[in-house]
Amino acid sequence: KYEIRVIVLAGLLLSAFFFAILYNDFSRNIDVPACVTYSGTFKVPHVKKLDRSTYEVYGVAKMWAFTPEDLTFPEGSTIDLYLTSDDVVHGFNIVKKGVNLMAVPGATTKTTVTFETAGVYRILCHEYCGSGHQYMMGKITIT
Ligand code: CUA
């Protein structure tokens, strides 16, 4: 009897989490990180300007830095961020923006971030990746 209750409870909990994701994704317009088909081209770090306030960033994490390391965009910019890793699994956290991605070798993670306020946004690696892990950071400057 207890087993059935536990199974039902776990099932309810799972669907609650699932609906929370859907709710955040569609109703509150929060971008849920997505996986994109990987191709070797993602391994070349670069920034592509689409228009005055929209950019694509192709970021690569590698022991122990993110490239491009230092990015500057104008206030109000929206950035499509494609992230991959050239060696091991790294974390990618934009402080104060609630952006939290994984950089996985052979895969691409994508998210979209809009920077409404000027300032310096630190990027930290939050996945232990070797002896230089604590020095692995980057920054985005919004002017
Ligand atoms: Cu990269 Cu920790």
Q: What number is the ipTM of this complex?
A: 0.97
Evaluate: CB of 62 within 6 angstroms of ligand 1. no
For residues 41 and 99, the model is more confident at: 99
Give per-residue pLDDT as tens, 16-48.
888 887 777 767 666 666 767 777 777 888 999
Domain boundaries, the chain: 1-30, 33-142
As a whole number, the mean pLDDT across the chain is 89
> How far, in Å, from the CA of 34 to the mean position of ligand 1?
20
Q: How far is the CA of 142 from the centre of ligand 1 (A)?
A: 24
Overall average pLDDT of the 95-106 stretch: 90
Nearest-atom number in ligand 1 for the CA of 126 is 2
DSSP 68: S
Per-residue pLDDT at 132: 92
Give the nearest ligand 1 atom to 103 CA: 1
Q: Is the CB of 126 under 6 A from ligand 1?
A: no
Taking only the tens place, the pLDDT of each residue in 47-94 is 999 998 999 999 999 999 998 888 999 999 999 999 999 999 999 999
Report pLDDT for 37. 77
Cα 134 to ligand 1 centroid, rounded to whole Å: 7
Other CB atoms within 10 A of residue 32 CB: 10
Q: Which atom of ligand 1 is nearest to the CA of 136?
A: 1
Asked if 143 and 118 touch (Cβ cutoff 8 Å), the reply is yes
In angstroms, what is the span from residue 6 Cα to ligand 1's centroid? 38
CA 15 to centroid of ligand 1, rounded, Å: 32
Average pLDDT over residues 8-20: 90
**Percentages (nearest 5) of helix, strand, coil residues in the chain:** 20, 45, 30
| CATH number of the 33-142 domain | 2.60.40.420
Q: Is 103 in the pocket of ligand 1 (CB under 6 A)?
A: no
Residue 31's pLDDT is what? 65
Q: Quote the CA–CA distance of 83 and 88 in Å, as a whole number.
A: 13
Q: For residue 113, is pLDDT > 70?
A: yes
* pLDDT reading at 8 higher than 70: yes
